Amino acid sequence: MSLWVLLAAILAALLAAVPPWWFARRRPGYSHLRHTISELGETGAPDASRVAWLAFAPLGLSVWMFVALLGARLPADTGTGLVLLSLFGVSYVGAAVFPCDAGAPFWGTWRNHLHNLVAAIGYFGAGAGLIELGRAFEDMSSLSGLSAVTAALGKGVLLGIFVLSFESPVRGLVQRAIEAAVFGWMLLMGGWLVLA
């Protein structure tokens, strides 16, 4: 079962990295530093439908698969952290269903508001979930070594959300740092369970 957790983490990390890279190459003027990932699938984008259903939705499903497989390996007292972490998958499925307006503004159409809402729920869930899992890991001998780094990454995600909530020329970089923290933790967790 531990190998399946690692494989799910690898799948999620690949889906988080490869499609944005691929679709960004097809979008003139797109910058990974300035632009959010959502802008690849924004309303009116040439590849919007493909980004939604070949990138965002599968990524959300892979996050849910990882959380479900991890939940089968962890004790019941990690349930709250896992439920919160699963909200990260909600943000990707939500991005597929509710694409952002052009430029991913903070305000805009009703669809853009829903996009921003599911994104906020997902990122907050990921940060809070990691903090809660870090707390739960303190009491588990096999996972106590991951407690501090898990909680620290969760706090980093929450800090990143705060920074992301302001207009910035490095908005894309901040979002990618948040994503790297969560998907990096998933890979670390999967590897830890395989080696334990």
Burial class of residue 61 (count of CB atoms within 10 Å of its CB; 0-12, 13-18, 19+)? middle
Q: Is the pLDDT of residue 1 over 80?
A: no
pLDDT tens track for 22-48: 999 999 999 999 999 999 999 999 999
How many structural domains compose the chain? 1
**Which whole number is the average pLDDT over 67-72?**
98
How far from 118 is each of 47, 88, 95, 172, CA to CA, in Å? 21, 9, 7, 18
Q: Which two tokens stand for residue 127?
A: 């940060």
pLDDT tens track for 146-155: 999 999 999 9
Q: Is the pLDDT of residue 128 over 80?
A: yes
pLDDT tens track for 72-105: 999 999 999 999 999 999 999 999 999 999 999 9
Structural domain containing residue 30: 2-195
Return the pLDDT at 166.
84
Task: Identify the CA nearest to 138 among candidates 71, 56, 81, 100.
Answer: 81
Q: Exposure pattern of 166-182 as b/e (b: 16+ CB <10 Å)? A: eeeeebbbbbbbbbbbb
pLDDT tens track for 100-125: 999 999 899 999 999 999 999 999 99
Residue 191 CB-half CA count within 13 A: 8
Find all residues with CB under 8 Å of 162, minimum gap 6, and list them: none
Return the pLDDT at 164.
87
Residue 88 CB-half CA count within 13 A: 32
Residue 154 Cα to chain centre, angstroms: 12
Q: Is the pLDDT of residue 196 over 80?
A: no
pLDDT tens track for 50-63: 999 999 999 999 99
Q: Taking the model in full, what pTM does it have?
A: 0.95
pLDDT tens track for 159-175: 999 998 888 899 999 99
Total count of residues recorded for the chain: 196
